[in-house]
Structure 1
Amino acid sequence: MAKTRTRQTVVLGMLGTTLDTGQGPNRWTKWRPTVALCQQEDLVVHRLELLHPPAATQIAATVVADIRQVSPETSVRTTLLDIRNPWDLEETYGALLDYVRGYTFNPEEEDYLVHITTGTHIAQISMFLLVESRLIPGRLVQLSPDPRDKAGAGTNTLIDLDLSRYDTLAARFQREQREGLSYLKAGIDTRNAAFNHIIERIEQVASHSRAPLLITGPTGAGKSQLARRVYTLKKSRGTVSGPFVDLNCATLRGDGAMSALFGHVKGSFTGALQDRPGLLRQANGGVLFLDEIGELGADEQAMLLRALEDKRFLPVGSDKEVESDFQLIAGTNRDLQTEVERGRFREDLLARINLWTFRLPALRERPEDIPPNLLYELDRASEAMGARITLNKEAQERFLRFATSPDARWSGNFRDLNAAVLRMATLAPGGRITREVVDEELERLRTQWRTGSTRPGPVSTTSGVDRVAEVLGEELASELDRFDRVQLADVLGVCQGSRSLSEAGRVLFAQSRARKSSVNDADRLKKYLARFGLTWADVS
């Protein structure tokens, strides 16, 4: 009967030019990892492939002689690797890769271990990569000394890089992933398959990449909140260490745009009384969220592209570049490709920021997610009002029947839902929202979303849309004099057709500005809108 051949254990390892040193009898009083490797009671090393640099030939000879003494069954083969600088990753990995490619592996008859206790950190990383990529078909072995017996063999640990075999690690990874997904969704048990898939992809990208993220979708879809949660998730996992800095680009205007983003030096323009670091420098090491990035001017776009590619830029008025390494998250409700075709957005900047692009769907595209979001908004309202707010069963069913129907436009998306719940909570007797309160709110929403008004005296545009009622709401719009309403409707029309507050101001005040030596059209428009409780973000 044929005798079964015992599989051989082969270990590949770098000589430790520090840990393995020692001459004379005293060398046996210290723990030397390569020698100890061959003294393990539960690990028989049949062959040791000992790699060493040119300067360690004498140390290697001593270690080989000592292994023959403590483990006669171990065959040792030394190989000189031409590594002049063991802290150079390219040189070290290249030498090890060449060695591995020239080595004849026989996995049918031999088990391979890679010793990573010795060698520089660079060598250990290189060994890890060679095993992880399966260029070496084996496992890692790590030795540890026995603190009670410094001259003893110590202990060994075998590490298999197939993580699927580690149930505990796999379970922990899955748990962390679930927690990350839940956090990105604010703990809301969303049911829309498309939205859940988007969040799953964002979680994966946020955990493994520092490339720019582009989040698109209609106003109110939750881009800002998601960007902040992505940052918090990344910081909790150690992928960023700096701050979260956010800016709505629609609020930028004139010379202040460049200064706000890139900073300025003292005296660079009138009013520059001191240096200003700028938001890009503030975001160094962290995340910069630029909402409505499509509103940036051409000069700002060019500077931003340079900062993304080179991590360097020039503050306003400075001849000395500064550095900032940040991750960009950009948000927009515009179709940036269309903006490129119209010449309003740089094609090269779009190419740089759309490596990872995710479109958040509108609320009306996610009717199955309205019930859990309603409960979430009730919790928020309860927190804001300091009292528990509830919906009775009849009231909840009535609200959801309308909220998930085709009649519900949700033009403001989650802002509309949040406002609706907050209004109902405010009017709820004893903190319990009744059917009567719901009916009143539903009528308010229908009026708010109505494209035209049936009340006397509306001011409609040529498209048939009453802009004043659409922006202010029908109730407030009806309180305006017809004169003010006509004027405001024209202002809103210009604002909605302009890219920035400054651009709208130039159009509206084109005649009067020609008669003034000093003008600030954006400020005039801002003050005019403030008379009606409006901001540029409300009307643009």
Structure 2
Amino acid sequence: MKKNVVLGFLGTQLDAGKRRRWRPTVALTRHEDFPVERLELIFDRKFSRLAHAIKREIEDSRSTTEVLLQQIDLSDPWDFQEVYGALFDFARAYGFDEEREEYHVHLTTGTHVGQICWFLLTESRHIPARLLQTSPPRTEEDGIDGQINIVDLDLSKYNALQQRFDLVADEYNALLKSGIETRNEAFNTLIERIELVATSSDAPLLLLGATGTGKSELAERIYELKLQRRRVKGRFVHVNCSTLKGERAMSTLFGHRRGGISGISSDRRGLLREADGGILFLDEIDELGLDEQAMILHAIETGKFFPLGSDHEITSRFQLIAGANRNLGLLVSEGQFRADLFARLNLWTFELPSLRERREDIEPNIEFELRRAEKTLGDRVGFNVDALQRYIRFATDPATLWPGNFRDLGASLQRLCTLAPRARITLPMVDQEIDFLKRQWASATRDEDDRLVRRFLGEKADEIDPFDAVQLAFVIRTCQTSRTLSEAGRTLYSASRAAKSSRNDADRLRKYLEKFGLSWSVLSEA
């Protein structure tokens, strides 16, 4: 059985018996149901006489308790830094033996600062102990030594407390999701991770994802969450970096002094200064020029920057959220994005999935868009049953790609709500909307493969199956990046050549091109 070891301060008032006859350190060692084998009593040399008197009394009255006096001199027992440092050093030097001894920290004695430090050190496991609280007798049943209680720091055992923590976490998650009951497991896990980071870290966040996946909305929700948690107190400043070009970009971001830009005779604060104490959201940060990127990096790391035309730095402490829909790592390799800024942003990177990767979330988002339309139009619009079934079937169909993601979905529902007669969306309206979306996407989403094939085949490209079009586009690109027909053939048929099933790669490629009316000379010249 493990031995009970108690660590605690000498009570300079209570243990001296100046306020009442009950003395907590002495009473602690007299409980039959909690035998104390060793008491580590911490005292200041100014109270050495009292400490030795307590030691003698305990050992004389109860010989099974060994009292070890630990002298720690504190110039100010109410100074948190000094007390915590002293106890931290004591804990590091102490030889804890958890296999043989059970450790407890006595909270009743010492200053409130000392009690806080004990709690922090035990909660962080620098001291592998449980907290112990004693109290004076209140009834005859308590005897002359009062009560003793052990405080268990394992909060997971307290269901009510855990439920409260879970409810708070759910509220924060719902805030980040705009109140939408999302069902996609990967997205919900992503939101939980963002909530943990946003509430505990002020480091930059990088939100990646295709256009329309909700980066801007999420950035605003993160700001609201941080505002609730009192991690920011300033404004949310949203900057679309794709609209910033040249000298005007510098002025917009960093401000300028009078005369800093030719033709402008007034000062400008700049958006970085407007974000002081709050959050700066740089959407499409990949569109910034390299000079602006360098100044942004300096501002993030130092909290300072130079307005145009100024010799004095301006201070602005803000938290940065950056958004991008392109691969920043690839842009770094191509020299279009600064590696040092990317490294600074890449600590917390979150990639938002597209709508077609979250098809189970389409129905909740339809409900959300209907509620949002109600606020805009002032009238609650609903679907007829057959119309809703038709729309959901189309929206969740794997063939429906939603190239604009949630932006497309929101625009579609806004059109339906606005045009709905008597606030009801009918089946014919849904069919018209679906036809409109298909035509719109067909004209806007002709991909690179399609454009490349049409460049050489013209209208004949309509006669090719989509499967063959993808293959042909790859072949065309390979021919255009190869020096000879033979080199292109070796690249395209490398696997079959290794298996010795292809003898003449160039001839095989020539015949493949002839199927589509193409030749090596046409492709290589192009």
TM-score surpassing 0.5? Answer: yes
- Which residue number corresponds to residue 522 of structure 1? none
The 5 Å alignment of 1:366-377 reads 366-377=358-369
Say whether the 8 Å CA contact 1:64–1:76 is kept in structure 2. no
Q: AA paired with 1:390?
A: G
3-state SS of the aligned residue for 1:268?
coil
1:13 alignment counterpart:
8
TM (normalized to structure 1)?
0.71
Tell me how far 1:257 sits from its aligned partner. Answer: 2.1
> Which residue of the other structure, out of 131, 136, 139, is the alignment partner of 1:140?
131
Change (3 A) 1:67 1:256: farther
Equivalence for 1:183? 175
Match of 1:77 in 2: 68
* Cα shift readout 1:369-422 (whole Å, capped 9, x = no counterpart): 212211211111122111110001110111122222244232221121111111
Residue 61 of structure 1: how far off its partner (Å): 2.9
Cα deviation, residue 34, structure 1: 6.4
Match of 1:350 in 2: 342
Deviations for 1:157-185, whole angstroms, at most 9, x for unmatched residues?
A: 64322222222222222222222222222
Secondary structure of 1:218's counterpart equals coil
Task: Please say if 1:165 is aligned against 2:182.
Answer: no
Residue range with higher mean Cα deviation, 327-336 or 37-46: 37-46
The answer on 1:130 being equivalent to 2:118 is: no
Instruction: State the alpha-carbon separation in 1 of the partners of residues 321 and 343 from structure 2.
Output: 14
CA RMSD of aligned residues (A): 3.8
Identify if the C-alpha distance between structure 1 residues 252 and 165 changes in structure 2 by more than 3 Å, giving closer, same or farther: same
1:431 CA drift (Å): 0.4
Residue identity opposite 2:170 in structure 1: R
Out of 253, 256, 259, which is 2:248 matched to? Answer: 256
Q: Secondary structure at the match of 1:411?
A: coil
TM-score w.r.t. length of structure 2:
0.73
Aligned to 1:113: 104
Q: Which piece of structure 1 moves more, 169-178 or 393-402?
A: 169-178
- Structure 1 gap ranges (5+): 454-459, 466-540
Counterpart residue type for residue 81 of structure 1: I
In structure 2, the gaps of 5 or more residues are 139-143, 456-526
Partners of 2:264 and 2:73 lie apart in 1 by 58
Cα distance change on mapping 1:281 and 1:50 into 2, 3 Å: farther
Equivalent residues of 1:141, 1:156 under 8 A apart: yes
Deviations 1:97-151 (A, max 9, x none): 443344344546654222456667775555334322434221124578999xxxx
Question: Which residue among 44, 47, 53 is the counterpart of 1:65?
Answer: 53
Instruction: Provide, for residues 34-62 of structure 1, a one-character-per-residue CA deviation record: whole Å limited to 9, x for no partner.
Output: 6887799997766432324xxx3122433
Alpha-carbon distance change, 121 to 299 in structure 1, aligned in 2, over 3 angstroms: farther
Q: Classify the secondary structure of the residue corresponding to 2:320.
A: strand
Distance 1:261 1:119 in 2: 53
Residue aligning to 2:199:
207
Q: Deviations over 1:227-275 (max 9, x none)?
A: 1111212222333333322211122233332233233344433465554
**8 Å contact from structure 1 (residues 248, 291) kept in 2:** yes
Distance 1:402 1:108, change over 3 A: closer
Once residues 41 and 244 of structure 1 are traced to their aligned partners in structure 2, the CA distance between those partners, rounded to angstroms, is: 61
Counterpart of 2:19 (choices 25, 28, 32) is 28
Whether the aligned pair in 1 keeps the contact of 2:14 and 2:109 (CA below 8 Å) is no
Distance 2:136 2:341 in 1: 55
Matched-pair contact (CA < 8 Å) for 1:35–1:63 = no
- Change in Cα spacing, 1:64 to 1:166, as seen in structure 2 (3 Å) is farther
For 1:120 and 1:310, the matched residues in 2 are separated by 39
The corresponding residue for 2:316 is 324
Kindly tell me the number of residue pairs found equivalent between the two proteins: 443
Q: 1:146 to 1:324 in 2, by over 3 A?
A: farther
Going from structure 1 to structure 2, the CA distance change for 1:15 and 1:210 (only over 3 Å counts) comes to farther
